[in-house]
Amino acid sequence: MVTNRSIYAGWQIVFKLTFNTFESLFGDVLKNLERSKQLLLTLADVSHFQEVQHHFLETQQHRLKTQEEYKRDKEVEEKDKTFTVLDWLSPLSQLNQHNRIKQDREEFPLATQWLLNDPSWRDWIHEEGGDLAIFWVSGIPGSGGCDQFYQIL
């Protein structure tokens, strides 16, 4: 005996076999779309990270450049202060004196070697205190005493 229930179940089977459901027709497409969505979100995160990293590196480079500029400016300022004080204390321009001595050293590099080769200098330099704490070099003005002193320094 055929009941309404068995007829209904039969029709369900016929419909399922005849007509595909939305899931069976588009399930693979939906899965691919979901994977594409996840991939795009991941790429967006990576892109954002790279952009932030690039900005960080630019900021870091700018900071280092600014630090170097500050350091150079500070050194120039300290040098200027030193020469200002020396110029104030001395009737001679210290910058000119420094440049002259530097130029003399370049032109005559061996001019002060006699002092460094002198036995009394070598004895004094290797002495550890005691009676020889001061090494005295004397001469007439303009004979190179300052040049000797600067060479020693």
> What is the tens place of the pLDDT at every residue in 115-131?
778 888 787 777 765 56
Q: What is the pLDDT of residue 19?
A: 67
> What is the tens place of the pLDDT at every residue in 44-84?
777 777 888 888 899 999 999 999 999 999 999 998 888 88
- Cα separation of 88 and 81, whole Å? 10
The residue type found at 72 is: R
- Cα separation of 5 and 110, whole Å? 121
Q: Higher pLDDT residue, 81 or 135? A: 81
> What is the tens place of the pLDDT at every residue in 6-50?
777 777 777 766 666 667 767 788 888 888 888 888 877 777 778
- Cα separation of 144 and 113, whole Å? 12
- Cα separation of 54 and 59, whole Å? 9
Find the helix packing angle between 22-89 and 94-107, rounded to 10°: 100
92: left (phi over 0), alpha (psi -120 to 50) or beta: beta
Q: What is the pLDDT of residue 153?
A: 65
pTM of this prediction?
A: 0.34
Backbone angles phi, psi at 131, to 5 degrees: -75, -20
- Number of alpha helices (DSSP H) and beta strands (DSSP E) in the chain: 6, 0
Over its C-alpha atoms, the chain yields an Rg (Å, rounded) of 45
